[in-house]
Structure 1
Amino acid sequence: MINLPHDDNTCGWYHALTPQIEKPSLKGAQSADYVVLGAGFAGLAMARRLAELEPNARIVLIDAQQVGQGASGRNSGFVIDLPHKFSLEHPDPAHKQRLLSLNRAAIKQLSSLIDKHNIDCQWSAAGKYQGAVGPRGEAYLDHFEHLMTDLGEPFEHVDSNQLAKVLGTDYYSRAIYTPGGYLVQPAALACGLAASLPSNVEVLENSPIQRLTKEQGAWQLHGENGSIKTAKLLLGTSIFTREFGFLKNRLLPVMTFASWTRPLTDYEMHHYSGTLDWGLTPADHAGTTLRMTADRRILIRNTYKHVTKYGNSINDKVRADIQSEHRKVFLARYPQLAHVPFTHTWGGSYAISRNFTNFFGELDDGVYASACDNGVGVAWGTVSGSLLADYVVGATSNALSDIQKVTGMPSLNPPEPFLGLGVKSRIKLAKWQSRSEI
């Protein structure tokens, strides 16, 4: 029994878009030269690159939902060039430089596509703040500064007064600003990338694949109302890769949650007194992510859940409790905006691995995947998806060599119920330890 995506219908990013026209669904018995499963940033990049390399091939991109409704449209809209803190602690400097190069290649690729196709997605070279509330966060900032110095990357110290002028709140004690990151409306970017795919890519939406079989040397994908046969299957399915029997017991399904306000009025912007279009991540990884969007919405993201059945693990009461927690965080930072309501609270599932390793390559004869982005979905999905297409058709490049050197096999997890108990306990402990930074 496959646990299918079952995302809530309350994602603010997606609801902020103009209504999207649904694309056809999978019907009848079909065949394709290449099938890409999952229309997130990885799948979109796979399909685009395959179409460029194989212009005469029929390429089908399938998603269980509409483009932009899944995890790729549910993140906080950071496109980061720097590796996450865990990767920054890797002992090999060359490993870290390869990750930097790959992330920056993704940013360059996305910038080019956004310009070429006039994708309206609030794309902004805004950089990123990493902020501390108190002594615990400041200790993490000091560590981050050492890592950045060792890496030779530029950064700026931002004191509390400077930070308050940007954020419109004096809640934070200080921050480190890094200039290489971008901000984006993620659902708008995903939809724009799908709309601008080459003509030999056919997108099928609302087509959950319920079973995968191999018949006479070809892979058969079975949906509710149709099936499709292919010799080459590329999985951009992230955490759902395990539902098809691959990377079993190696991926951890985690959901993070966000809430945001309606756009602030001119009067409210005056009382807010900060600037537009910035993003702050917590120095303490279990703290709060904060954003002010280009269209005047304040976004709060924290709260982590272990979700064995993805969206089906979360009900309306859990979401209401999470929104209440987010409200306290919001009021602590912006008491002057206490009358401004949240309009949406949503979650998004993603995959992490215990050894913080991404998978890239061939899973079975004719089945390929880039899986387990470890929370760096936009940049990593884009570059790994493009390079997986190169790998499938036999193209070579320095970037392909780099990604093969920095990826590997996610480590095995303990069996259930020990895994679930351990993950939930770890999340609770991290929340308690980081309570002063939330």
Structure 2
Amino acid sequence: MLPPRREKSRLQGDITADVVIIGGGFAGLSAARRLSELDPSLKVAVLEADLVGDAAAGRNSGFIIDLPHEVSSDDYGGDSAAKSREAIEISRTAIKMASTVAAEEGWSRDVFDPCGRYSAAISGEGDDHLTAYAGQLVGLGEDHRLLTAEEIAEVTGTRAYTSALFTPGTVMLQPAAYIRGLADSLRDPVRVYEKSPAVRLERSGTAWIVKTPEGSISTGRIILANNGHAESFGFFKGRMLHIFTFASMTRRFSPDLLPGHRKWAATPALPMGTTIRRVPDGDGDRILVRSRYTYHPGIVAGDGTLRRAGAQHDKKFKARFPALGDIPMEYRWGGAMAVTWNAVPAFGEIEDGIFAACGCNGVGASKATASGLAAAELMLGHRSRLTEIYQRFDAPKPLPPQPFTTIGAKANLAFKEWMAGAE
């Protein structure tokens, strides 16, 4: 939906930097911004393997969510309530940073929209989960509103949904535009190098040498913000699960074909269900459908996997929008995320001078942003509530040996998708 990206310079030749950030997504660019805020004199080099916005961050569905993601969360009493409040604090720290950038850059609501989100149900089980979650939000003191089938139909233009829960704190992004804009908002001495993948790290005395295909950078400190690809440099081996999630988007259709609001976003009532966005695109609209989760230890998903996910999206789309059933999908894509067994980030100083902001465990726009901010603060010795929370996280647990990890991961994903049912 965006014009082609004008590529920034590639890294060519040998240079020096105070900090090198590997990865130009939510985590890496947020870390770069925080470093420049804390020490504007720092020479920071961000290495992005592709064009900014073309990798996983630009394939995000665009939700910066402030509340716990799974509406089927367990009882919120005692320690659970404290952990939930810390999770909310992490997400809202990310939202605060993103909101500041949006205001500074003057972005329109087409790029950054603090509109809130719906969790929408299409079954009795989904209705029960939303009601239970609403009760938990009461205990947390969080603003929310339950909607009847008639009320959510007025929003979505379809009678498929049986109830919904609205929470106002989520920000909706055009994710590729946001990531591009965040990169372009960085000023010297922060430099972003595109099409410049880091291919090797070498120790040279007290410094590190980061090699790219056409150059190298000598630096004292590195932030790994490349999520599951931290394993490519030997870190967190056997501690991250590489999960792909998939989305499809329709071609543009006339807004007259679907009543309701022209712009809304809904996550599923049950975990592993179907996320839907209605997105205005000029004088037409599009529907985005996201569902399907698959495990790929090599961090590569093939065309067959994408086709199978697309077939599922078509069914979900037709079930929710029968009036639009003949409108085809124009785009289909997948994106990788890294999940740890004990659902903690792969974070901290993992070797002398190397800091990690990886393992987002889903909800990447929120969690990866916060991890990048926390890694920057930790590197510079800046104490904050964010670093306090992050430093209390356990280390990622080792996964079982193969083939047990693959068998367990695939079985677990299949079971959770089965449990989500029509949702």
* TM-score range relative to shorter protein: over 0.9
Query: What SS does the aligned partner of 1:255 have?
Result: strand
Residue 182 of structure 1: aligned partner: 171
> For 1:139-218, what aligned pairs fall within 5 Å after superposition?
139-218=128-207
Residue of structure 2 equivalent to 1:35: 20
Residue of structure 2 in register with 1:340 after alignment: 327
**Worse-matched range after superposition: 329-338 or 251-260:** 329-338
Q: Give the alignment of 1:68-147 within 5 angstroms.
A: 68-85=53-70, 89=74, 91-120=79-108, 121-147=110-136
For residues 35-64 of structure 1, the C-alpha deviation after alignment (integer angstroms, 9 at most, x for no partner) is: 001000110011112122232222100011
Matches within 5 A, 1:291-310: 291-295=277-281, 296-310=285-299
SS of the aligned residue for 1:61 comes to strand
Q: Give 3-state SS (helix, strand or coil) of 2:239's partner.
A: coil
- The reply on whether 1:433 has 2:422 as its aligned counterpart is no
CA drift of 1:304 comes to 0.7
Which has the higher mean CA deviation after the structures are superposed, 115-124 or 364-373?
115-124
Q: Are the counterparts in 2 of residues 126 and 277 from structure 1 also a CA contact under 8 Å?
A: no
Distance 2:182 2:57 in 1: 12
| Alignment check: 8 A CA contact 1:261 1:343 kept | yes
> Per the alignment, in what secondary structure is the counterpart of residue 40 of structure 2?
coil
Q: Which residue is equivalent to 1:25?
A: 10
Per-residue deviation, 1:149:
2.3
Spell out, residue by residue over 1:265-315, the C-alpha distance to the aligned partner (whole angstroms, 9 max, x if none).
2xxx223112122111111112111111243211100011112222x3322
Q: Distance in 2 between matches of 1:64 and 1:164?
A: 43
CA distance in 2, matches of 1:429, 1:84: 19
Asked whether the 8 Å contact 1:358–1:374 carries over to 2, the reply is: yes
Shift of 1:95: 2.5
Q: Offset at 1:388?
A: 1.7
Secondary structure of the structure 2 residue equivalent to 1:176: strand
Measure, in 2, the Cα distance between the counterparts of 1:217 and 1:306. 38
Return the letter of the residue paired with 1:33. Answer: D
- Are the structure 2 counterparts of residues 434 and 83 from structure 1 closer, same or farther at C-alpha, using a change threshold of 3 Å? closer
Q: Higher mean Cα deviation, 218-227 or 243-252? A: 218-227
- How much is the aligned-residue C-alpha RMSD, in angstroms? 1.8
Q: Per-residue CA shift, 1:379-429, capped at 9, x if unaligned?
A: 222232123212111122233223333x33121111111111111111222
Q: 2:384 aligns with which of 365, 377, 397?
A: 397
**Identity between Structure 1 and Structure 2 (%):** 36
Gaps of 5+ in 1: 1-15
Find the partner of 1:281 among 264, 267, 275: 267
Amino acid aligned to 1:175:
A
Residues 102 and 403 in structure 1, CA contact (< 8 A), matched pair in contact too: no
Q: Is the 8 A contact 2:358 2:371 kept in 1?
A: no
Q: Deviations over 1:112-170 (max 9, x none)?
A: 21121123553112211111111222232233223212212121111111111111111
Alignment counterpart, residue 376 of structure 1, candidates 357, 363, 368: 363
Deviation at residue 364 of structure 1 after TM alignment: 0.7
Most deviating of 90-99 and 278-287: 90-99
CA distance in 2, matches of 1:293, 1:42: 25
Give the SS at the match of 1:192. Answer: helix
The alignment covers a number of residue pairs equal to 416
Aligned to 2:373: 386
Alpha-carbon shift at residue 247 of structure 1 (Å): 1.4
Deviation at 1:28, TM superposition (A): 2.2
TM-score (norm. length: structure 1):
0.91
| SS at 1:99 equivalent | helix
CA distance in 1, matches of 2:363, 2:325: 32
Residues 71 and 362 of structure 1: is their aligned pair in 2 closer, same or farther, counting only changes over 3 Å? same
Aligned AA (1:376) = V
**Secondary structure in 2 matching 1:243:** helix
Runs of 4+ in 1 over 6 A off after TM superposition: none
**SS of residue matched to 1:354:** coil
The reply on whether 1:226 has 2:215 as its aligned counterpart is yes
5+ residue gaps, structure 2: none
Matched, 1:330 2:317: yes
Please name the residue that 1:59 is paired with: 44
